[in-house]
Amino acid sequence: MVKEGALIITCDDEPDIRESVRDVLIDEGFRVVTAENGQDLLDKLRTTKPDLILLDILMPGLVTKEILSEMKKRKIKVPIIFLTVVRLAEQSKEILGDNVVDYIEKPFDNRDLVKRVRKALG
């Protein structure tokens, strides 16, 4: 049962993509916090307990691996969906598991995004 008003952090360095993801999710009644990059995300995780994280895996700054290991260190167990602009590289698939539950290719279909988010929230 998906709880309405679940808290989602969407992290992307492209402001317009970040905003668009937020818009689509808010339209569906989710609560959304945005993060500009990996460091921002890790900072926000100190004060925010999200139900799901949408993470762009091609960001400057911290590499996805570093974000995941830091989360693991801090024992943050939140499901993660990767957002990727390239046809998913093999490396991204390898990261699946642990908390990473799914990946969505950009540009995405809004309905598909919502469907997957709901599924991840389970």
Partner 1 sequence: MKINPKRNKYPSEKKFVENTESILQGISKNLKSAMIYQALRLADGTRKFTYLSASVKSLYGVTPKQAIANPSLIYNQVYKEDRKKLFEEEEKANKNLSTLKIRVRMIAPDGKIRWSSFISFPTKLPNGVTRWDGIERDVTDVKEEENKIESEMAKSKMYLDLAGVILIALDSGGRITLLNKRGCEILKCKKDEYLGKSWFDNFVPKEDRIRTKKTFKKIVSGKIEGVEYYHNCIVSKNGEKRLIAWHNTTLKDKDGKIIGTLSSGEDITKQKKTEEELQNYKTHLEELIKERTSALTESEKKYRLLYETSADALMTLEPPNWNFTSVNSATLKMFGFKNKKEFLSVSPWDISPEKQFDGKISKIKAKEMIKRALEKGNNFFEWVHRRKSGENFMATVLLNKIKLGGKDIVQATVRDISKEKEIADKLASQEKFLSSILENIPDMIFVKEAKDLRFQLFNAAGEQLLGTKREKMIGKNDYDFFPKEQADFFTKKDKEVLNSGHLLDIYEEPIDTPKGRRFLHTKKIPIWDLTGKPAYLLGISEDITERKQAEEAKSQFFSNISHELRTPITPLRAQLQRLLNKQLSVEEMKDSFNMMMRNVVRLDRLIQDILEMTRIQAGRFNIIKKRQDFNEIIQHALEDISSIAKNKNIQIIFESKSLPSLYFDRDRILEVLINFLDNAIKYGGKNIKIKTEVKNSELILSVSDDGQGISKEDLNNLFKPFFRAQQNIIQQIEGTGLGLAISKEIIESHDGRIWVESELGKGSIFYFSLPLSNTNK
Q: Least distance (Å) from partner 1 to the CB of residue 91?
A: 11
Dihedral sign for Cα 46, 48, 54, 56, please: negative
Of residues 39, 92, 99, 110, which one binds partner 1 by CB under 8 A?
A: 110
Q: What is the largest distance, in Å, between two alpha-carbon atoms of the chain?
A: 36
Closer residue to partner 1 (CB): 20 or 71: 20
Q: How far is CA 18 from CA 5, 24, 106, in A?
A: 19, 10, 12
Pick one of 17, 33, 88, 121: the residue that binds partner 1 (CB under 8 A). 17
By the criterion CB under 8 A, which residues form the site for partner 1? 14-17, 19-21, 23-24, 27, 58-61, 63, 85-86, 106-111
